Amino acid sequence: MRRLFHWIGALALTALLPGAALAQNNETTTLEVGYMPILPVAQLFVMEGAGWTDEAGLDLELTRFSSGPAMVQALASGKLDVMNFGIGPAMVARANGVPIKVLAASIQEQIGLIARGELANAFEGNDPAAAIAQFTETQGRKPKIATFPNGSVPYTVLRYWLEEQIGVDADAVDIVTMGASRVQQSLLAGAADAASTLEPILSVVQQRDPDARVVARGNDMLPHQPGAVLAVREAVLKEHPEAIQALVAQHVRATEMLENEPAKAAPYVREFVGKRLIDEETVTAALSSPSSNYLADPHMIIDATRTMADFQRRIGTLKKPVDVDALFDTSVYDAVMPSTENAAP
């Protein structure tokens, strides 16, 4: 009943929020939005594909990036109003003085470790540390694990899993960083033994390589791991509060569709993620995967963000400390969400 209440409430918001009033008055707010073509930011694809942003009086000028760190560079140069990217890059940007606020979560525990070939076989009947040791001994080399660039969420979660969860030094494996599209290519070409990655790569690789399998999920690697987030420049939030409130409302609405009706969301998502390479059935499967844990509530990821920030400082990918409390602004989400305290059971 709680989910249903949120769903009805989110739909009602399109009529009640200031953004709806802006649209009715033919007023449009243009926002420069950075994103990566990955499933963890699928809310953006749903709200754009379904036309909800137009209805809310929002004109989103989209810029595609290959990685979160690349988006941080754009932020540092003064570009972008709104960002759909990982919490890791968000922390790096804030720590380096870029005045941004995380307004909503997008997903959590979305990273999985998928292995193929002899490494996948080594995990049969072995704990992860033993599997890595067995592969190294039998193959005469360290397993090669592909992932996103240093500082990204997939990279950080991989390092955390190795060092904090299974007690293996990062030097025991060969971590190769690259852009999202190359991770899938490396696995399917046999250039990598495993990847710390996300959907739809997890589903696509398993479909095309019957011997590949996910050997660790997000809850194994970093429990409650924060994933992608919706963030905005503080100046934009101050200048366009009604538009940003409307944007967060559509983010909540899209989250509910992704969570409750993945098949309905799939066509919108496919337009942005592998349209010519992935069929709609695969996108639906990826959206329904155990690694697709969509949520919008920023309160739910704050504690795990602190855990990740502390770890990133320790391994050197976060060069400067970040004030996690200052990074988040939950007031916009709280304003657009109807209270559930008095909801009927």
The string of pLDDT tens digits covering residues 70-109 is: 899 999 999 999 999 999 899 999 999 999 999 999 999 9
Indicate if 104 and 23 belong to the same structural domain. yes
Which pLDDT score is estimated for 307? Answer: 94
Report how far apart the first and last C-alpha atoms of the chain are (Å, whole number). Answer: 6
In a domain, 166, yes or no: yes
Q: In this structure, what CATH number is given to the domain that contains residue 128?
A: 3.40.190.10
Other beta carbons less than 10 A from residue 51's beta carbon:
10
Is the pLDDT at 6 greater than 60, yes or no?
A: no
- Residue 207 has, within 13 A of its CA and on its CB side, a CA count of 15
In a domain, 320, yes or no: yes
Please report which confidence band the pLDDT of residue 130 belongs to, taking 50, 70 and 90 as the band edges. Answer: very high
Number of domains in the chain: 2
Is the pLDDT at 44 greater than 50, yes or no?
A: yes
In a domain, 341, yes or no: no
Please report which confidence band the pLDDT of residue 343 belongs to, taking 50, 70 and 90 as the band edges. Answer: very low
- Which of 221, 240, 269 marks a domain boundary? 221
Contact present, 111 and 154 (Cβ < 8 Å): yes
Who has greater pLDDT, 60 or 15? 60
274-287 pLDDT, tens digit each:
776 789 999 999 99
R_g (Cα) of the chain, nearest Å: 20
Q: In what order do the strands lie in the sheet with 100-105?
A: 58-64, 29-35, 82-86, 228-233, 100-105
In a domain, 314, yes or no: yes
Beta-strand runs (E) in the chain: 29-35, 58-64, 82-86, 100-105, 107-108, 112-115, 144-147, 174-177, 194-197, 213-216, 228-233, 293-294
The CA distance from 234 to 285, in Å, is 37
Please report which confidence band the pLDDT of residue 24 belongs to, taking 50, 70 and 90 as the band edges. Answer: low
Indicate if 256 and 193 belong to the same structural domain. no
Indicate if 102 and 16 belong to the same structural domain. yes
b/e map of 165-184 (b: 16 or more CB within 10 Å)? bbebeeeebebebbebebbb
153-172 pLDDT, tens digit each:
899 999 999 999 999 999 99
Please report which confidence band the pLDDT of residue 26 belongs to, taking 50, 70 and 90 as the band edges. Answer: low
Is the pLDDT at 270 greater than 50, yes or no?
A: yes
In a domain, 344, yes or no: no
Which pLDDT score is estimated for 328? Answer: 98
Who has greater pLDDT, 163 or 24? 163
Indicate if 122 and 200 belong to the same structural domain. yes
Which pLDDT score is estimated for 318? Answer: 87
Indicate if 251 and 299 belong to the same structural domain. yes
Which pLDDT score is estimated for 312? Answer: 92
The CA distance from 152 to 69, in Å, is 7
Indicate if 231 and 102 belong to the same structural domain. yes
Which pLDDT score is estimated for 232? Answer: 98
Indicate if 235 and 280 belong to the same structural domain. yes
Which pLDDT score is estimated for 177? Answer: 95
- Eight-state DSSP code of residue 17: S
Indicate if 97 and 171 belong to the same structural domain. no
In a domain, 303, yes or no: yes
For residue 39, CA distances in Å to 16, 147, 266, 316 come to 29, 16, 10, 27
Is the pLDDT at 339 greater than 90, yes or no?
A: no
Is the pLDDT at 28 greater than 70, yes or no?
A: yes
Question: Mean of the per-residue pLDDT values for the chain?
Answer: 90
- Which of 170, 193, 221 marks a domain boundary? 221
Instruction: Give me the mean pLDDT over the 307-335 stretch.
Output: 94
Domain residues for the domain of 101 are 2-108+225-336
Indicate if 230 and 102 belong to the same structural domain. yes
In a domain, 345, yes or no: no
Please report which confidence band the pLDDT of residue 143 belongs to, taking 50, 70 and 90 as the band edges. Answer: very high
Indicate if 231 and 86 belong to the same structural domain. yes
